[in-house]
Amino acid sequence: MIITIVGGGSTFTAGIVKSIALRREELEVTEIRLFDIDKERQDKVAVLVDWILHEDLKCDIKLVATTDEETAYKDASFVFAQMRVGKYAMREQDEKISLRHGCVGQETCGCGGMAYGMRTIFPMVKVIDDAEKYAKPDYWILNYSNPASIVAEACRVLRPNARIINICDMPIAIIDVVAAAMNIKDKKQIVYDYFGLNHFGWFTSIQYQGKDMMPALRQYIKEHQILLPDAYLKDKAALGVAPQKESGTEGNRHTRGSWYYVWKGEYEIMENFPEMLPNTYLNYYLQQKEFVEHSDPNHTRANEVMETREKNLFDGIDKYLATGEIDEKVFYAGSHGDWIADLAIALKNDTKARFLVITENRGCLPNMPYDAMVEVPAYIGKDGPEVITQKPIPLFQQGLMMQQLNCEKLLVQGCIEGSYEKVLQAFTLNKTVPSMKVAKEVLDDMIVANKGYWPELH
């Protein structure tokens, strides 16, 4: 059993490898391969991965780090894809160009998400083609490269028969926070219903041991005016006073630094629309003006990550190479890696376990288009997702979803066709953009910034 991690130089690689290794008996994994186009970066991460496998966990899983496609994919059973095309330097451009024009500056939402999506579409197609060429015939690609919704739509159009499942860990991070707020110790006992597009959805039901938790959760959010557990809120310096600093909640990267505002936004949205619990990313669409106002256009989330998680990881690796001492706090391990490894187990062992995945609608959401790539619960077995049909979506949520869906479809069409007009239509249609004129200004600046990454637009 060979598992290939595409984007082996990622700051998340070490944590994902640890999750795989801890499940090595269920996965029967014998070899892990790291594949990245940045050899220097990946080689450094590989030092830490080797320590985790052979010093920390003392397992005999073989480790290979390569920049060669055939070496990476040959006879692989699973490909975990976590690409960041353009790395954090381009993420910083995505966020700052958007904010410069008064638009939401965010990695996966709005103009930044569309720019990132256009960088990622064709590299993801290459991953599929390489897996088809070299991997085992029954391979599965588990893709969590962002922006997952745009990437999923592009794969549907360009490689409709690919053995790929697109996933996202944000709903899981939300459930982690809900569990902490509700003092739930065993998160695996939580069952939830959810519908939406990726980074654009709602929880309709959250149950714990058969009990409906939504009334208590609504009351908690109303009383605290935020969706964060009491223990998190005690660290005022990490939250309200100095929101740009990475500190506070151990084990959940989605609660640190400027993430404070999106958890605060859960309260603000639910004050108006209390029936469902929104995905935190909906703040960028429903409170776009407010999120622009409290953003620092000179110091965005990309800067926070580069100054903390990125710096801590590589400083920690350098220290290990120099002294032989390692601090496990330098690498992130948590629900992100566990979720991916557990999904691989469900596919391999045909467990029919329940997961949230991004998949073609095909009637699952009855009042959304048949070919929409939606995020819904599904049972996972050896043949892939068996989606769980949901009720018709209320008009408000359906209207928002159709606007976002058509924006993403236009973007993918424009990227594939090299159509400036369709990409401009996508930017204009996005709810985070105030006008056609602004959409054009942002797009034109992003074309310059993404030279060499985007296809030519005519």
281 catalytic per annotation = yes
> What are the structure tokens assigned to 420, written together?
């400036």
> Under a CB-based contact definition with an 8 Å cutoff, are residues 15 and 45 in contact?
no
> What are the structure tokens assigned to 401, written together?
């979803």
Please state, in angstroms and rounded to a whole number, the distance separating the CA atoms of residues 441 and 424. 10
User: What DSSP state is assigned to residue 188?
Assistant: G
Among 404, 401, 433, 439, smallest CA distance to 420 is for 439
> Under a CB-based contact definition with an 8 Å cutoff, are residues 68 and 133 in contact?
no
Q: Are strands 373-381 and 164-166 parallel, antiparallel or unpaired?
A: unpaired
User: What DSSP state is assigned to residue 419?
Assistant: -
Which residue is catalytic, options 281, 284, 285, 332? 281
Please state, in angstroms and rounded to a whole number, the distance separating the CA atoms of residues 315 and 321. 10
Counting beta carbons within 10 angstroms of the beta carbon of residue 353, is it exposed (0 to 12), middle (13 to 18) or buried (19 or more)?
middle
230 catalytic per annotation = no
Counting beta carbons within 10 angstroms of the beta carbon of residue 323, is it exposed (0 to 12), middle (13 to 18) or buried (19 or more)?
exposed
Which residue is catalytic, options 94, 169, 342, 445? 169
Residue showing tokens 């959805």: 201
Among 270, 171, 184, smallest CA distance to 229 is for 184
* Residue 224 CB partners (closer than 8 Å, separation 6+): 230, 233, 267
* Residue 171 CB partners (closer than 8 Å, separation 6+): 192, 194, 201, 203, 279, 356, 375
Among 163, 160, 103, 101, smallest CA distance to 131 is for 163
Among 255, 258, 281, 33, smallest CA distance to 148 is for 281
> What are the structure tokens assigned to 20, written together?
């795989």
Among 129, 29, 134, 17, smallest CA distance to 82 is for 17
- As annotated, the active-site residues are 169, 281
